[in-house]
Structure 1
Amino acid sequence: MGRTYQLFLDSDRVYTCSTCYAHLASYGDVISRGFHGRQGPAYLFDKVVNVSYGRKEHRPLMTGLHTVVDIHCGICQVNVGWKYIKAYEHSQKYKEGRFVLEKHRIVKETQWKD
């Protein structure tokens, strides 16, 4: 296995992995805080960093059938959510290529700037 490189976001507010505190997303990349994950509230993001991807699968979700891949923290490998690959209902197409991070798997941190 190769060396893992961690990206640190240059933002004053970031969401980190609740296990290892690796940066996952910038506060400004939240699209919606009204999503539901497998175990409760979740957020929809435009982009995330420091993640690895699982296998593509068709998953029936609350809003219909979607093709998704699970995403894991790239540092500690904890499942943190999923990425929408394809939405089959026209009204759900805005989710394609976007990410859901489960709230219980992330921590919002404020970075101190000099």
Structure 2
Amino acid sequence: MADTVAPRLYACYNCHSHVALHDDIVSKTFQARHGRAFLFSHVMNVVVGEKEDRHLITGLHRVADVSCSDCGEVLGWMYDKAYQESQKYKEGKTVLEKFKIVKHNW
């Protein structure tokens, strides 16, 4: 019988609820308020907050905070709209701050 390999996951640092798969990382070079952050193509077990325009390092974007669905901890933000053409690739993707997530199943 073959061993099944569980996917490498990231979890909320506060309650350890699974929030993202390692394979869904688009970029590890993002910068957040408190340091490094990762851009994910897909996240899970999060609640998306109210959309608002924010001036970020790369310009004006419409974003919404994302929080852990279990404990409510704000983990990062989701890009709803990029106003600059060069930033459109971020739309629909989510940034999670590195210090707010922990590795699980590594």
What range describes the TM-score normalised by the shorter chain of this pair? over 0.9
| % identical equivalent positions | 49
> Alignment partner of 2:16: what SS?
coil
How far off its partner does 1:11 sit?
Answer: 4.1
**What is the aligned-residue RMSD (CA, Å)?**
1.2
Identify the residue that residue 7 of structure 1 maps to in structure 2.
none
Q: TM-score, normalised by structure 2?
A: 0.93
Q: Is 1:52–1:73's contact at 8 Å kept on the other side of the alignment?
A: yes
Q: Unaligned regions of 5+ residues in structure 1, if any? A: 1-9
| Distance 1:11-1:100 versus aligned 2 partners, 3 A rule | farther
Decide which of 70, 80, 83 is 1:85's aligned counterpart: 80
Q: TM-score, normalised by structure 1?
A: 0.86
Report how many residues are paired: 102
Return the letter of the residue paired with 1:30: I
Deviations 1:73-113 (A, max 9, x none): 000000000000000000000000000000010001126xx
Partners of 1:77 and 1:26 in 2: how far apart? 19
Deviations 1:38-65 (A, max 9, x none): 1110000000000001111000000000
Q: Is 1:11–1:26's contact at 8 Å kept on the other side of the alignment?
A: no
Deviations 1:10-42 (A, max 9, x none): 942100000000000001000000001111100
Identify the residue that residue 6 of structure 1 maps to in structure 2.
none
Q: Unaligned regions of 5+ residues in structure 2, if any? A: none
Q: Is 1:70–1:83's contact at 8 Å kept on the other side of the alignment?
A: yes
